[in-house]
Amino acid sequence: MARSLGGLEAAAEWPAVRARLPDMTGLRVVDLGCGFGWFARWAREAGASAVLGLDVSEKMLARARADTHDPAIAYRLDDLETFGLTAGGFDLAYSSLAFHYVAGFERLARIVHAALTPGGRLVFSQEHPIFTAPEKPGWIDGPAGRRAWRLNDYGREGGRTTNWLAPGVVKQHRTLGTILNTLIRSGFAIRHVEDWRPSPEQAAAAPALGADEFDRPTFLIVEAQR
Amino acid sequence: MARSLGGLEAAAEWPAVRARLPDMTGLRVVDLGCGFGWFARWAREAGASAVLGLDVSEKMLARARADTHDPAIAYRLDDLETFGLTAGGFDLAYSSLAFHYVAGFERLARIVHAALTPGGRLVFSQEHPIFTAPEKPGWIDGPAGRRAWRLNDYGREGGRTTNWLAPGVVKQHRTLGTILNTLIRSGFAIRHVEDWRPSPEQAAAAPALGADEFDRPTFLIVEAQR
């Protein structure tokens, strides 16, 4: 994946996610699903005082550790289904495209809320529910040459087995209402919800991406505050 | 429309909307798009102290007035694009399936926010963005007999001309993010967001409705608080 190998700038939605982040100066940050550590290193360059990155992949953490030379960044092998965090230990929780793999989102939301200081923020992206809903996601030809996204099963929440990155990976489909209500029930105030679309500049530079993302969103971006 | 003629109970999403309403006792209520006045009369029976119903249709208001014998209910011909409300004059703002006809949603949100007392609530339903997005909404046959909702143009906000209730009716498509962010910018706290689905009992009683609504939502229900 270009996004894993190329760093934050290789992810088209990164500028929109970055726009939701607070001033990073002095923040204690946790990155839920840190992968190769791109965000952890960016956060430190942007002024964070400490970053903890969690990931379920030992392989990705090994590379993250090899690429990181900063005693204020720590990585920990952990599973977002079962993890724990120090209560009040963080000012910002960040996550990129990880939450749609987590079945226990209610538990995750409670733990992240407790881990934040009052006023602390959770900023995350995940696959959009329109994208995770269909058992067989894809396009279908429509009338008058207008292709359409083949949407069904939006109201049927639960696991979807895909063979995309690896065979048998299970994604968890939740409606947008369920995602937001889970955060609200956990005590978060919703600050921003974004069905991500490319900027005009991005759409001009990558017309196929622009066409896809204006027909149906791939990414959901949420900013919530304790 | 069964829902206009048959009262609140003829609308399948009414129980879910009602579940978002506060105790009505003593509340001053405004109904934005009151139609025949079903909700206004229900609100009074449920304990509201006064109800103001606004609608752009003189014909509907004439019938609302004819069916209402209650000096605490007033109806007013008004347009949600240009209306005004007394600041702090209401404890609850309610709207059923009207906001997706309003182009000036930012203005509407500001006016409703100012019209509510602190702690007052806005509870509304509207057509779901998944439903309003396509220029030509409808189903398309999918592989293995699985029909799908023909979704496109989700990211292209603006008017959609339909010929459904009447020729040339214009609906306004906004993404879910835009709807919620507009409310947040106006000062509302988001309390509940629901991609409406039938209850198990409703799906059993109306299997076609159940199949449709679990494949793609028609209605969005939002509860917000000043």
Q: What domain range is B16 assigned to?
A: 2-129+174-225
Question: Which of A147, A149, A155 has its CB closest to that of B214?
Answer: A155
State ipTM: 0.95
Predicted structure pTM score: 0.96
Kindly state whether residue A108 falls inside one of the protein's structural domains: yes
CB-closest option in B148, B175, B194 to A151: B148
Residue B136 belongs to a domain: no
Residue A151 lies in a domain: no
Say if B27 falls within a structural domain: yes
Reported as a pLDDT band with limits 50, 70 and 90, residue B167 is confident
Range A106-110 average pLDDT: 98
Question: Which pLDDT score is estimated for B164?
Answer: 63
Domain count, chain A: 1
Per-residue pLDDT at B1 exceeds 70: no
Looking at the domain assignment, is residue A125 inside a domain? Answer: yes
A184 and B190 within 8 Å at the Cβ level: the answer is yes
C-beta separation of A69 from A116 below 8 A = no
pLDDT in tens, B92-115: 999 999 999 999 999 999 999 999
- Residue pair A21/A94 in contact (Cβ under 8 Å)? The answer is yes
Q: Residue A195 sits in a domain of what CATH number?
A: 3.40.50.150
Query: From the list B140, B177, B193, which residue is nearest A148 (CB)?
Result: B140
Give which of A17, A125, A135, A152 to mutate to test B binding, by max B Cβ within 10 Å: A152
In this complex, do A155 and B181 lie within 8 Å of one another by their Cβ atoms? no
Best mutation target, B125, B154, B212, B222, to test chain A (most A CBs within 10 A): B154
Higher pLDDT, B9 or B75: B75
Q: Which residue has the higher pLDDT, B162 or B62?
A: B62
B202: Cβ–Cβ under 8 A, 6 or more apart, which residues? B12, B209, B210
Q: B34: Cβ–Cβ under 8 A, 6 or more apart, which residues?
A: B40, B53, B54, B55, B60, B61, B64, B75
pLDDT attached to residue A22: 98
Rounded to whole angstroms, how far apart are CA atoms B60 and B58? Answer: 6
Whether residue B166 is contained in a domain is answered as no
Cβ of A194 within 8 Å of Cβ of B181? The answer is yes
